[in-house]
């Protein structure tokens, strides 16, 4: 049985662990570390090994998953570098921390950067993955086994592509939430009861997402099919188009990617300092 260790078992690691447990992984093969006692107790109650001792947890690990915030990664790597077994696969979900930081501290390990999004919590997520040169077919298989139960797994060909995944999927749930917020506010302003407005908008978003996912047609065609010429939908779409919705979305996604690149520059190790 492989020993899989999660350093920092918060929201994102928690989603991965839940996915693994529902896919039948024995809880005794999983180890989690957290600073807070409450979090450790919650994992222990599910039969997962829980500890506050990162060094002890990574001993003899086959897979180490780093689930702490990006700002804590470099410090964590420095403290664990000599303790993580050299043949362990190291997976990181931290946004914006470049592969070279991990390779500096763990030059012999296979490393995989994963960019998941929060719908992984409801098993409809997207995870972009990028493997270091040290990763072999078995590592690819392990990462797929871990993230496939949480949704779609996209293999990035370059590390830079991870930033594009951030703009298209990692940050994207927030765009849809924002659109829902705007629609709910507008429906209320037009006179709908707030809870009715929220229920209708959320159900419509869910229905549209399911149709887009299940249909053989692209979203543009699905839109055309509900837009009768001269009708009510056409009037609304005309407003979105004339006020440049496509341009706004394109600029927002460029901003998102550029911020990911700035973060990578910020977290990049500055040797000699």
Ligand X SMILES: NC(=O)c1ccc[n+]([C@@H]2O[C@H](COP(=O)([O-])OP(=O)(O)OC[C@H]3O[C@@H](n4cnc5c(N)ncnc54)[C@H](OP(=O)(O)O)[C@@H]3O)[C@@H](O)[C@H]2O)c1
CA distances from 242 to 31, 159, 181, 248 (A): 54, 36, 21, 12
Whether 5 and 64 have beta carbons less than 8 Å apart is answered as yes
Which of positions 93-112 make contact with ligand X (CB under 6 A)?
93-95
> Looking at beta carbons only, is 227 or 257 nearer to ligand X?
257
Residues 43-62 that bind ligand X (CB under 6 A): 54
191 marked ligand binding residue: no
- Under rule CB under 6 A, residue 118 binds ligand X: yes
Does position 19 interact with ligand X (CB under 6 A)? The reply is no
Say whether residue 70 binds ligand X (CB under 6 A).
yes
Q: Indicate the DSSP class of residue 60.
A: T
Q: Supply angle C-alpha 56, 58, 151, rounded to 5.
A: 140
User: Minimum CB separation from ligand X for residue 32, in Å?
Assistant: 8
What is the spatial distance between Cα 263 and Cα 273, in angstroms, rounded to a whole number? 18
The reply on whether position 167 binds ligand X by CB under 6 A is no
The answer to whether residue 30 forms part of the interface with ligand X (CB under 6 A) is no
Binding-site member from 4, 7, 91, 184 for ligand X (CB under 6 A) = 7
When asked if residue 84 is in the footprint of ligand X (CB under 6 A), the reply is no
Dihedral, 202, 210, 217, 164 alpha carbons, nearest 10: 80
8 binds ligand X (CB under 6 A): yes
Ordered alpha helix ranges (H), the chain: 11-22, 37-45, 54-58, 70-80, 99-105, 137-147, 160-165, 172-189, 194-214, 219-225, 232-242, 245-267
Residue 39 near ligand X by CB under 6 A: yes
Q: Please state, in angstroms and rounded to a whole number, the distance separating the CA atoms of residues 165 and 87.
A: 28
Please list the alpha-helical segments (H only) found in 148-193: 160-165, 172-189
Residue 117, annotated as binding a ligand:
no
Q: Which is nearer to ligand X, 35 or 224 (CB)?
A: 35
Give the residue closest to ligand X by C-beta: 10
Q: Summarize as ranges the residues that interact with ligand X (CB under 6 A).
A: 7-13, 33-36, 39, 54, 67-70, 72, 76, 93-95, 115-118, 170
Annotated binding site for NADP(+), which residues?
7-12
Annotated binding site, which residues?
7-12, 54
Annotated binding site for NADPH, which residues?
54
């Amino acid at each position: 049985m492989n020993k899989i260790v999660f350093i920092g078992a918060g929201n994102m690691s928690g989603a991965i662990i839940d996915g693994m447990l529902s896919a039948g992984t024995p809880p005794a093969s999983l180890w989690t570390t957290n600073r807070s006692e409450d979090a450790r107790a919650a994992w222990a109650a599910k039969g997962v090994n829980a500890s506050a001792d990162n060094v002890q947890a990574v001993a003899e690990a086959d897979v180490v998953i780093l689930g702490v915030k990006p700002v804590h990664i470099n410090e964590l790597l420095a403290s664990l570098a000599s303790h993580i077994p050299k043949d362990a696969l190291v997976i990181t979900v931290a946004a914006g921390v470049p592969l070279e930081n991990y390779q500096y501290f763990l030059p012999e390990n296979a490393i995989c950067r994963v960019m998941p999004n929060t719908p992984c919590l409801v098993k409809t997520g997207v995870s972009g993955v990028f493997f270091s040169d040290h990763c072999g077919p078995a590592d690819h298989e392990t990462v797929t086994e871990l993230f496939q139960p949480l949704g779609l797994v996209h293999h990035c060909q370059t590390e830079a592509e991870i930033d594009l995944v951030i703009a298209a999927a990692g940050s994207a749930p927030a765009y849809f939430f924002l659109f829902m917020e705007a629609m709910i506010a507008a429906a209320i302003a037009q006179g709908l009861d707030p809870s009715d407005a929220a229920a209708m908008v959320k159900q419509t978003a869910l229905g549209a997402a399911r149709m887009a996912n299940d249909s053989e047609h692209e979203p543009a065609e699905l839109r055309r099919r509900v837009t009768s010429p001269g009708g009510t939908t056409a009037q609304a779409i005309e407003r979105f188009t004339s006020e440049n919705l496509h341009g706004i979305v394109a600029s927002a996604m460029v901003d998102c990617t550029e911020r990911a690149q700035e973060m990578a520059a910020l977290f990049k190790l500055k040797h000699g300092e």
